[in-house]
Amino acid sequence: MTLQRLVIDLRAEETVLRVLYRSSLDGPNPGTKTRAREVADLARSGLRDALEALEGGAEVVGTSGFTQREDILSLNRSYEVSEAEAAS
């Protein structure tokens, strides 16, 4: 499976992660523990990558809204995942 997008929605009582990914057709069925574990692993790795990218700095590349603001950050993706991290 390959992570395509990770959207974090912070709500008053909960945090919702929307995980968009590509997988082969022979992957685990929806609702199975295996599929939930694989998606959770994808989300974890995506969050680790985002935090690592923020360490290098971020640049505001777009904004929208008037009374409610939404800024779009561009993160440097030049970091390399070490072999130890990739194996875990």
Higher pLDDT, 8 or 69: 8
Each residue of 2-40: pLDDT tens digit? 888 888 888 888 888 888 888 777 766 767 788 888 888
Residues 59, 74: contact at Cβ < 8 Å? yes
3-state secondary structure of 57: coil
Domain that holds residue 59: 2-87
Instruction: Give the chain's domain count.
Output: 1
The reported pTM is 0.63
Q: What are phi and psi of 67, to 5 degrees?
A: -85, -25
